[in-house]
A and B are shown apart, each in its own frame.
Chain A
Amino acid sequence: MSRLKACFEALASQGKTALIPFVTAGDPHPDQTVDIMHTLVASGSDVIELGIPFSDPMADGPVIQLADERALEHNTSLTDALAMVKRFRETDQKTPVVLMGYLNPVEVYGYERFAVDAGEVGVDGILTVDLPPEASVAFVGQLKDQNIDSIFLIAPTTTEARVKKIVAAGSGYLYYVSVKGVTGSGSLDVSAVKEKLETIRNSTDLPIAVGFGIKDPESAKAVGAIADGVVVGSALVNIIASNQHDKAALLKQLGEVTRSLSDAI
């Protein structure tokens, strides 16, 4: 059984929702990422989404854009992100790690090689924002061979026909984008999300995580009541940004905020 499947099943049996923080690999410095990941887990996170920095993050708002820029100042690459997961796995074999990013770094690395290397270091899922399921058939197969789940996005604009296509290709969990917009933008409408989740659940038994627009314990709690997982990105990346020159304060504050989110859901 994949780590993601085991994680969601265990949480479901306890009636719990997964807390899924997003941070960018190499932000604010490559040396800090593994400590940040451990802090997130120690503060109640269930799955970690680790962003692969990209020069042109088209689906991201200013907060994640700046995180990518900070990471790229230190030339954080996909190779580096894999090395971080490897180090993380030295002391944590349980928490699922999903790499999230844009296609081009993977394209340049090579799909097959990436799948093998990611499997080796203990990556559990891949989410490439700009790779829709219809263009990812071969890649999904290569990832599956390494026991890696392919996570796909579903948006408010996704048609029913597309939902069917996406749930057929995806595994691990589905990522529902709660607002039309870039990361960190807008305010989410919980009842609209609830309605959409219900229609998605008609087509699949996969767990559904909801992200975009979840900023605080309140919104996390509201979404946690209807979703299997809650993704928080920009709110945590903001903490990293404002504490980028003080490592101890960064970990302390990140831990506190993560704990408050975890307690809320």
Chain B
Amino acid sequence: MSETQQKQYLNTPDALGNFGPYGGRFVSETLMAALEDLEALYDRLSNDPEFIAEFDRDLAHYVGRPSPLYYAERWSNKIGGAKIYLKREDLNHTGAHKVNNTIGQALLAKHTGKSRIIAETGAGQHGVATATVAARLGLECEVFMGEEDIQRQALNVYRMRLLGAKVNSVKSGTKTLKDAMNEAMRDWVTNVDDTFYIIGTVAGPHPYPKLVRDFQCVIGREAKRQCQEQTGGLPDALVACVGGGSNAIGLFHPFLEDESVKMFGVEAAGHGIETGEHAAPLCAGKPGVLHGNRTYLMEDENGQIIPTHSVSAGLDYPGVGPEHSWLKDCGRAEYVAINDEEALNAFRQLTLVEGILPALESSHALAYAEKLAKTMDKDQIIIVNLSGRGDKDIHTVAKIDGISID
């Protein structure tokens, strides 16, 4: 492989929003002008020192950044392998990494002068983070959420309502994240003049995968600096869960040029890849076009999107951000899958051993880190993105345990 081939994953996307063969802008004509406007606005503001300073200020004083990089010593010793460090995105305001992006996009929305914000949400974390910034800016906010997710994430639904957002129950299709995104797109087509669509992950039509990544890159930049301060060097491996993949790309991207750093994206194997009931398009899907971008998808032989399953609502999505598809094809990141049971075990382990209650999404990354650590030396370092806290999942876990806490 030549040097240029090796580096194809750097400096992405191109001017058309392509990450190699992935990404792009595949939407109906009604949205094209709005996306062109957003691209022009972002190109201008992302180089504007004032905008950058405002974003950094909000991250520091409203979100509470930098988030700690915590050496999970007791858990690492128990596993008996590499040292595991946790990037504590769960300690952000609203309890997950999602707010990094909604802060950034809300600032963009403010510049467009649009008075209404919409968002899709799966686990509800992005919905909460969007409702939060909308409340802070005094903007009208509507969140689209699958009926099934509304049931399993009742706590976040009520949080959004307290924050003044309207939560629309989506009853079409599989009633989960992908259908919420369809419905948000439909709303946007209808109200494009006064509405800003805050997409919650590194997917969707260009420029969303790029701008969401840029906003989330604060995770990896901090982690790199913190790791150098605490250990004197770079980590050997990064591990993050991948639904749409925004927390993973946020951690990975600032390390892309550090070739000694291995990257592992962890998808949801649900009931097991072999059962077909999972949400692992990178591990078991093939490329296609959905929600405005070309990427790996879970689809049948006729190009229809097939239902996904994961115990964690935030990973229950049949697509993935296009940059991950490209990192996979380039071999820069490796994508693996963790099933429901393994994730639940990791959820319990971290809670018991470190006193940290992780989100079920992040528990997939933890479960893989445990496997990986066992194969590594004691002086090696893994950074796991602890992308969110698990309070929202207590009902789900209690139900699995047969306990009613209503």
Contacts and interface: CB of A to CB of B under 8 A. Distances in A.
Interface of A: 54-62, 65, 72, 75, 77-79, 102-109, 129-132, 134-135, 152-159, 162, 166, 177, 180-182, 185-186
A189 to B, nearest CB: 14
Nearest to B179: A56
Given A104-B288, A108-B288, A157-B192, A135 B24 contact: yes
Contacts of A108: 288, 299, 301-303
A134 B291 CA distance: 17
Contacts of A105: 302-304
Interface residues of B, number: 40
B229 interface: no
A144 B31 CA distance: 27
B30 A155 contact: yes
B31 to A, nearest CB: 8
Given A103-B289, A181-B190, A155 B28 contact: yes
Contacts of A156: 30
B178 A135 contact: no
B118 to A, nearest CB: 14
Contacts, number: 122
A104 B297 CA distance: 10
A153 B32 CA distance: 11
B28 A59 contact: yes
A154 B29 contact: yes
Given A56-B182, A72-B304, A186-B190, A180 B30 contact: yes
Interface of B: 16, 24-34, 36, 172-173, 178-179, 182, 185-186, 189-193, 287-292, 294, 297, 299, 301-306
Give the most central of A59, A109, A134, A177: most B CB within 10 Å: A59
A62 B189 CA distance: 14
Contacts of A62: 172
A159 B302 CA distance: 35
Contacts of A107: 287-289, 294, 303
Given A104-B299, A108-B303, A58 B28 contact: yes
Contacts of A159: 33, 36
B172 to A, nearest CB: 6
A181 to B, nearest CB: 4
Contact of B28 (A54, A104, A130, A186): A130
B303 A78 contact: yes
A55 B173 contact: yes
Contacts of A162: 29, 32-33
B294 to A, nearest CB: 8
A56 B290 contact: yes
Q: Which 3 A/B pairs are nearest by Cβ-Cβ distance?
A: A108-B303, A105-B303, A155-B30
Given A129-B28, A159-B33, A55 B304 contact: yes
A103 B173 CA distance: 18
A222 B201 CA distance: 43
Contact of B303 (A60, A65, A106, A177): A106
A99 B346 CA distance: 49
B39 to A, nearest CB: 13
Nearest to B304: A55
A100 to B, nearest CB: 12
Contacts of B288: 104, 107-108
A62 to B, nearest CB: 8
A58 B182 contact: yes
Instruction: Name which of A57, A106, A182 has the most chain B CB atoms within 10 A of its CB.
Output: A182
A172 to B, nearest CB: 16
B186 A58 contact: yes
Nearest to B286: A108
Contacts of B25: 132, 135
A162 B33 CA distance: 8
Contacts of A61: 186
A158 B30 CA distance: 7
A180 B189 contact: yes
Nearest to B30: A155
Contacts of A152: 29
22 contacts: A54-B303, A55-B173, A55-B306, A56-B179, A58-B291, A59-B28, A59-B189, A60-B186, A104-B288, A104-B305, A105-B304, A107-B287, A107-B288, A109-B303, A130-B26, A134-B16, A153-B30, A154-B29, A157-B34, A180-B190, A181-B190, A185-B190
Contacts of B290: 56, 104
Contact of B26 (A75, A79, A135, A185): A135
A139 B178 CA distance: 27
Contacts of B289: 102-104, 107, 130
A245 B347 CA distance: 50
Given A55-B173, A59-B186, A108-B302, A177 B178 contact: no
Contacts of B192: 157, 180
Contacts of B294: 107
Given A104-B299, A107-B303, A108-B288, A132 B29 contact: yes
